[in-house]
Amino acid sequence: GRAALAPAALPAPARIRARFVRDTVFISGRYLKLARGLTQTPWSIQGQRRGEDSVEELVAGPLQKRFSAEATSFHSAGREDMDVRMLGDGRPFAVELINAHVLPDALALSEEEAAINSQADARIEVHGLTLCGKEAMEDLRRGENSKRKQYTCVVWVAKPIKRPDLAVLDKVKDLALSQKTPIRVLHRRSAMDRDKMVHSCECEY
């Protein structure tokens, strides 16, 4: 027999479904963490949530809602502990808006910056929200390992001390240390020693 060259008639009209996805939008800025008890990202251990909120949720959540993004991804140059504040100039961060249906502009970002700060109950502040490129991710990774950081803490000691006892700490300069992986992050980081440097130390009595 002779093979049919044309396909059989379709029982119903053909349907074509297309989905359009916008390129990821990157927004950078700096955040200050003004309150303790706040994790940087949502944190659970053995199914138990640690902390009521996180910096990521207080920053990326409103941005996702404002610009109708399907999802977000939060990145920063390092992180601080849950019970530690982040002051000074703040920590650099970037948020990826995945398939945002509304494109941010300078005015919208300024309005959203004010909204985030007013809704955070003085727990965090964000500054300098601006559009950036994907290269910001690499800048954050470099900053995590290369930037000098300043820490302030209160120390209690078991025995009485006097101001001269602290002189040895005031003389610290470029002290090399070996830091073991903290127990609190062993669930997500390898157990190993990491080289650290204390550039200077200043004590108040």
Are β-strands 124-132 and 86-98 bridged in parallel, bridged antiparallel, or unpaired?
A: unpaired
Active site amino acids: 81
pTM: 0.76
Q: CA angle, corner 117, sides to 114 and 121, nearest 5?
A: 145
Residue-level pLDDT, tens digit, the chain, 205 residues: 556 666 677 778 878 898 888 999 999 999 999 999 999 998 877 788 887 899 999 999 999 999 999 999 999 998 888 889 999 999 999 999 999 999 999 999 999 999 999 998 999 999 999 999 998 888 888 877 667 788 888 999 999 988 888 898 999 999 999 988 877 676 667 888 888 889 999 998 8
34-37: which pairs have CB atoms within 8 A and are 24 or more residues apart?
34/85, 34/87, 34/122, 34/123, 34/124, 34/125, 35/85, 35/122, 35/123, 35/124, 36/82, 36/83, 36/84, 36/85, 37/82, 37/83
